[in-house]
A and B are shown apart, each in its own frame.
Chain A
């Protein structure tokens, strides 16, 4: 298991380098001179040239890329924002927690709703509860999250005035964005939970549990859920990217000063270091989340776990032989 995690971490470095490289290449080919962008249209050629020299923009591509990676790895430095002249790392550090909070809360809400609705739907298959859950799942799944966010904002902020429409001055401001993300994300989880619960419910070992005299609630929790959860965990892992992408959209709709919003603004203003830095951090987040889901998965699935063990064992044996 430890070996597996180390291997995955090494792979993560490769993936992140790849992501950075692609972003670099894309920005390299976007038209427009960052130096000109910083100084404005009224600056003369000399000033621009001086700026280019200062930013070392005239160095060859690979040299610049290498320098960026070097600074990131050894100095923990993502460069300086062209616009605010503040270190990108610092700017990201203030915004990062908000995005994480929205993403994690959104995930928690979608898992909670998806699990509860999925279990009820499966256990009471074909009942009116099941039907209602399914109808809502279709509706929320079909609504793109920006639209859902706008509708929620319309209802709860503008008409009912229960919640603030935009900005961020405390947890209350996160309710609508989290609800939008959570409802949208819950539909996929709901359907996965429902269908894998329905599979498990028909398994022979559930009948064995009944034959032991176990109560229905305990059967659901101890026997069905745990086995139904494996595909759900994989699916959650896969949908993390979508949730983080969704948080970018939702942040900009609710004007929340998070990483996603920051990145969108930077793209509009050609603030290259900020774009590179935010993409890097988002990619890093997704990688970490994926690793975590894999680890959770291996705890849920003993077969997988023993595979790691036997892999290690057979390798050890191979070394001895």
Chain B
């Protein structure tokens, strides 16, 4: 098996705000292996971005507080590392593409210079060399290099997102975290960007964490998937395990809510209710109040269990187990 490059262990993060304590991430553990793409899927407010920011060491403090856990990258615990060390990682070994491309570029700096900036931070190169390398990055994401000296407002949303990808990949990171890289873009651009990420992953062997609430994107891009609900992983496994042998009622709910399934004449089946208030999460199954498969057994603290071949589910009555898959 290929080696693990990132290991998140029992991570819990809270936001302490006036309204109370928002438990955004609760005891989350996962590994990312070298060269693989892990998908994090979940509805809005599930805590996906918070997990990503924890890995970057960029949680907004205050209000964010890490209450437990560690994040190991190359054997170092990121959560305990000093800022100076983290700066050598960010943009260099770990990069992140943020959720909204429209506002992620500095409006008063040439797009090209925004790429050279990260190159010069992590490589001992001259300004001219950095510019040359930045131009290569632009070409790599399909933007002609003569647009180096232009300001972001002249770029469309899709082009801005390409620039952001170029920034993220400029230093050949070992790990790329893409937080909803395509949600803000229209469908055709979305496909192009995903295509691009796929190619770059193949060319450079980067490991990816891809955050999205779009199961279609997960299916296209990911090797493994973790489904997040109310700050917890409720189901995790290979793409095949999660998609073909869906075991958690929430994951099933996500599939049933897909518009694609209604093409056959069936109506959309949105999951009823909404996620519990993250300031007062229940101790028992957090999905119970919305679950179609609820029983008395759900009224307890539920553990994440392996139902076979590393397919993890946080449910007392999983809809299926690996053992029965081939029948």
Interface residues of A (CB under 8 A from B): 203-205, 207-215, 222-223, 226-227, 300-303, 306
Contacts and interface: CB of A to CB of B under 8 A. Distances in A.
Interface in B90-138: 90-92, 95-96, 98, 100, 103-109, 114, 117-118, 121-122
B38 interface: no
Contact of B103 (A205, A300, A301): A205
Contacts of A214: 87, 91, 117, 121
Given A211-B91, A213-B121, A302 B104 contact: no
B89 interface: yes
Contacts of B114: 208
B105 A205 contact: yes
B236 interface: no
Contacts of B117: 209, 212, 214, 222
Q: Which of B86, B95, B118 lies at the interface centre, i.e. has the most chain A CB atoms within 10 A of its CB? A: B118
A212 B98 contact: no
A227 B108 CA distance: 7
A209 B153 contact: no
Given A212-B118, A222-B109, 13 more contacts: A204-B98, A205-B107, A208-B104, A208-B164, A208-B167, A209-B117, A211-B56, A213-B87, A213-B91, A223-B109, A300-B108, A302-B153, A303-B107
B154 interface: yes
Given A208-B98, A212-B121, A306 B151 contact: yes
B90 A204 contact: no
7 contacts: A210-B90, A211-B56, A212-B90, A213-B92, A302-B108, A302-B151, A303-B153
B88 interface: yes
Contacts of B100: 204
B320 interface: no
B58 interface: yes
B175 to A, nearest CB: 12
Contacts of A213: 86-92, 118, 121-122
Contacts of A205: 103-107
For the complex of A and B, the 6 pairs showing the least CB-CB separation, nearest first, are A212-B91, A213-B90, A204-B103, A213-B91, A302-B151, A212-B118
A301 B105 CA distance: 15
A208 B121 contact: no
A303 B151 contact: yes
B151 A215 contact: no
Interface of B: 56, 58, 86-92, 95-96, 98, 100, 103-109, 114, 117-118, 121-122, 151, 153-154, 164, 167
Contacts of B106: 205, 208-209, 223, 227
A227 B114 CA distance: 14
Contacts of A212: 90-91, 117-118, 121, 167
A301 B121 contact: no
Given A212-B118, A302-B151, A204 B108 contact: no
Tell me which of A204, A208, A306 has the highest count of chain B C-beta atoms within 10 A of its own C-beta: A208
Contacts of A208: 98, 104-106, 114, 164, 167
A203 B103 contact: yes
Contacts of A210: 58, 90
B57 to A, nearest CB: 9
Contacts of B98: 204, 207-208, 211
Nearest to A209: B106
A205 B99 CA distance: 11
A207 B60 CA distance: 10
Nearest to B100: A204
A211 B58 contact: yes
A56 to B, nearest CB: 56
Nearest to B177: A211
A215 B154 contact: no
Contact of A226 (B58, B90, B108): B108
A205 B58 CA distance: 13
Contacts of A207: 58, 98, 104
Nearest to B154: A306
A214 B95 CA distance: 13
Contacts of B91: 211-214
Contacts of A302: 107-108, 151, 153
A180 B268 CA distance: 71
A213 B167 CA distance: 12
A306 B122 CA distance: 32
A302 B89 CA distance: 32
Nearest to A301: B108
A208 B104 CA distance: 6
Nearest to B60: A207
A86 to B, nearest CB: 50
A205 B92 CA distance: 17
A207 to B, nearest CB: 6
A306 B149 CA distance: 13
Contacts of A303: 107, 151, 153
Contacts of B104: 204-205, 207-208
Contacts of A209: 106, 117
A226 B107 CA distance: 10
